[in-house]
Amino acid sequence: MKTLIEITGHGIMSKKTILSAIDTTNSIEFIDYGNNDKTIVFSTKKDASKALQIAYKKLSDNKEDWEDSLGSYGHDELNYDAGKAKIVKFNS
């Protein structure tokens, strides 16, 4: 089942930071909505979860920045400053 990672939020730079940290190696499609919200499509939830986990590891490596951004990760969601990446199942 296709699975999406939706990147949303208020901060343009926060969303760009999250996007740059997500491993898109196994993605099958990238959707840019033009309002700085993005969606990355993966073939499986496993691929999407792995990509989000890698993003968390990259962002949390800089502990001071991670804490300053009030970053959090869990339940298929990554929050960083004013941006959010969330895994959403998609039937198509």
Give residue-wise pLDDT tens across range 50-92. Answer: 999 999 999 999 999 899 989 999 989 999 998 999 999 876 5
What predicted TM-score, i.e. pTM, was given to this entire model? Answer: 0.88
Asked if residues 17 and 11 have their Cβ atoms less than 8 Å apart, the reply is no
Provide the pLDDT confidence category of residue 14 given band limits of 50, 70 and 90: confident
Cα 24 → chain centroid: 10
Per the structure, how many domains does the chain have?
A: 1
What pLDDT score was predicted for residue 41? 95
Q: How far is residue 47's CA from residue 11's CA, in Å, rounded to a whole number?
A: 26
Range of the domain at 34: 3-89
Q: How far is residue 37's CA from residue 15's CA, in Å, rounded to a whole number?
A: 8
The DSSP secondary-structure symbol of 23 reads -
Cα 63 → chain centroid: 18
Both tokens assigned to 44: 């499986």
